[in-house]
Chains A and B, each alone.
Chain A
Amino acid sequence: EPEVTQTPSHQVTQMGQEVILRCVPISNHLYFYWYRQILGQKVEFLVSFYNNEISEKSEIFDDQFSVERPDGSNFTLKIRSTKLEDSAMYFCASYRGETQYFGPGTRLLVL
């Protein structure tokens, strides 16, 4: 069964560094999302993406964040200058038939 995949599974970075989290959504899905989950907290919506543009974004998704679909398969989340509070698990999801299918997540640790 097709799955959403994410790389890397873990990333450690220094505060102020740029990180790019990668996702390969399920092929033939057209809607993509990023969520994050700070340790012990709720899963929070960051951004949705359709037809090569952002559909909706949350307050969390400020100018430090950007998303891109550079080719037909990858969907990336970039954090330009990481802060300590960006440490979280980041989930990518793609949508079909009323259901969002989530990837396994990237655990980001900002030191």
Chain B
Amino acid sequence: SQQGEEDPQALSIQEGENATMNCSYKTSINNLQWYRQNSGRGLVHLILIRSNEREKHSGRLRVTLDTSKKSSSLLITASRAADTASYFCATGLTGANSKLTFGKGITLSVRP
């Protein structure tokens, strides 16, 4: 079954630094999405990248996708304390009713 697995499991950086988080998966996908979850709260959609795309930007976020390596990375530039959260990658197959398969998540701590 397809599965998103992120690394590292935890990341601690200083405010202003860049944070890079990686995700790997096992099977073919239609798209890969990144979500953020603040402690004990809901999942906020950050960015989606389709399987035929290699890179995408949204504000301070940059996501890449390498389907040959079945991996994706999320880069947050110029991090802020407010970026402290857990980040999850989730993979989906084609179709509106496709379930998302989530990884275990990365805990990012941004020190002021």
Q: How many A-B residue pairs lie within 8 Å, measured between CB atoms? A: 56
Known contacts A43-B88, A91-B43; decide if A56 and B104 are in contact (CB<8 Å). no
Contact A45–B42 (Cβ < 8 Å): no
Known contacts A50-B97, A55-B97; decide if A101 and B45 are in contact (CB<8 Å). yes
Task: Please give, as numbers and ranges, the residues of chain A lying within 8 Å of B41 by CB-CB distance.
Answer: 104-105
Q: Which of B40, B92, B104 is in CB contact (< 8 Å) with A42?
A: B104
Contact B88–A50 (Cβ < 8 Å): no
Least CB distance from A6 to B in Å reads: 8
How many chain-A residues does the 8 Å CB contact rule pick out?
Answer: 26
Contact B40–A45 (Cβ < 8 Å): no
Task: Please give, as numbers and ranges, the residues of chain B lying within 8 Å of A30 by CB-CB distance.
Answer: 96
Contact A48–B99 (Cβ < 8 Å): yes
- Size range of the chain B interface in the assembly: 20 to 34
Asked whether any CB of chain B lies closer than 8 Å to the CB of A22, the reply is no
Contact A42–B45 (Cβ < 8 Å): no
Q: Which of A42, A89, A102 is in CB contact (< 8 Å) with B105?
A: A42
Interface set of B (CB-CB < 8 Å, partner A): 31, 33, 35, 40-45, 48, 50, 88, 90, 92, 96-97, 99-105
- 9 tightest CB-CB pairs across the interface, nearest first? A104-B42, A45-B99, A102-B43, A43-B102, A55-B97, A48-B97, A31-B96, A105-B42, A42-B102
Interface set of A (CB-CB < 8 Å, partner B): 30-31, 33, 35, 41-45, 48, 50, 55-56, 58, 89, 91, 95, 98-105, 107
Seed contacts A42-B103, A42-B104; 10 additional CB < 8 Å A-B pairs: A43-B88, A43-B90, A45-B100, A50-B97, A95-B96, A99-B45, A99-B48, A100-B100, A102-B45, A105-B42
